[in-house]
Amino acid sequence: MACLAASLMDVHGHICRQEGAQQARCATGRDDSKERADLTTQPNAKVRKRIIVLHAQSSPEWRWITQHMPDVDWTLVRAPVPRGKIRDRLGTFMAALRAVRMGRQADLVVSLGPGVAAAMEIGRRILRVKTPHIAYFLNFTTLPRGLARLRQAQSYRTIDRLVVSSVVEEAIYADHFGIDPARFETVLWGVNRPHFSDQPVAGAPYICAIGGNARDYGLLMAVAAARPHMRFIVVVRPHNLVGLTVPSNVETKTNIPYGDAMAVVKGARIMALPLQSADTPCGHVTIVGAQYLDVPIIATASTGVEDYIRDGETGLLVDVGSAQAMGEAIDRLWAEPATGQRLADAARAFVEAECNELNYVNHLRRQLALAPQI
């Protein structure tokens, strides 16, 4: 940690020397320094709240929920997309330090994802910035171990609010990292209806499966092999297929654009979500997307998805590791399209009411109101 702190201080010095050339821009595209001047030269103007957001989205045009909160002054700082390279990590810390420095004059600093959350908190500690830090999208496919766990635990323990997407994650992460459970809060995954490409998948009806985190695709291949009369399309990462025998009735797609993946979901008759364990806190992003697109879901009965699927009401849940249970559920919905439609209708009503972007808007407004007390 001492070596890391020293490296970060060197980065901080570099940022200070480059301050004039590295102006942050707010969500409206205006120069941040000019915006602050405008606010301070209007004697009767209402003081606006200000939020600094650190994220690692690939698109520089991404604006998260800023359009829902036009009364707030936003500054979005983009870190490199994490690929595990040293230069990406250094770039993330540089972005974090830049965000934290601007956070001195903000009401909240916000991070989106576990990696940028740790970087922002280390920067906040080094620069001694007291602005409250809210970390959203805290989720782990595989929990870090050894020194990695210790390093991240040091950062997470002083973050003011740690926001997860399922209730079970509160207890899992509090125990694993040794964090006060009171720092955690669950906000259901909130997004708009996903966009999908305008090229539908041609051919016979099919069952789809998408995603790469904590999936049990070996089980799904066994289910497909026992049903050669059914068509399956899986959208996966290349490593998900390593060591698997892919039956002839399964089409695989890897590394395709998001819109094309959503088009596969939109055109499916059923979506299957086979997870590796009964306590896997993954899959909620895929679930919410399919629910918006009116596709019935069959998922492994994991505590991580229970906040999103009620068995027999908004989807079907099956025992972990059971190809028989998954197969029987698929057979049922394949033979009973009306049942599938009933589940999809109820799921869409649930997701439209409970899993939209206003989840984060409402939570952030509460945090702004509490900021002086956090």
Tokens found for residue 243: 């060591």
Residue 373 has pLDDT above 80, yes or no: no
- Comparing C-alpha atoms, which of 163, 158, 251, 244 is closest to residue 208? 251
C-alpha distance from residue 139 to each of 144, 165, 304 (Å): 11, 8, 11
Give Rg (Cα) of the chain: 23
Residue 7 has pLDDT above 50, yes or no: no
Decide if 318 contacts 299 (C-beta within 8 A): yes
Instruction: Assign 371 a pLDDT band (cuts: 50, 70, 90).
Output: confident
C-alpha distance from residue 83 to each of 74, 120, 122, 158, 173 (Å): 27, 18, 20, 26, 23
Residue 346: CB partners within 8 Å, gap ≥ 6? 313, 314
Tokens found for residue 268: 């499916």
- The predicted model scores a pTM of 0.85
Q: What is the mean pLDDT of residues 132-156?
A: 95
Instruction: Assign 6 a pLDDT band (cuts: 50, 70, 90).
Output: very low
Q: Hey, what domains does the chain have and what are their CATH numbers?
A: 2-190+357-373 (3.40.50.2000), 206-354 (3.40.50.2000)
- The CB density around residue 303, as the number of other CB atoms within 10 Å, is 17
Q: What is the mean pLDDT of residues 138-160?
A: 95
Torsion of CA 329, 330, 335, 336, to 10 degrees: 60
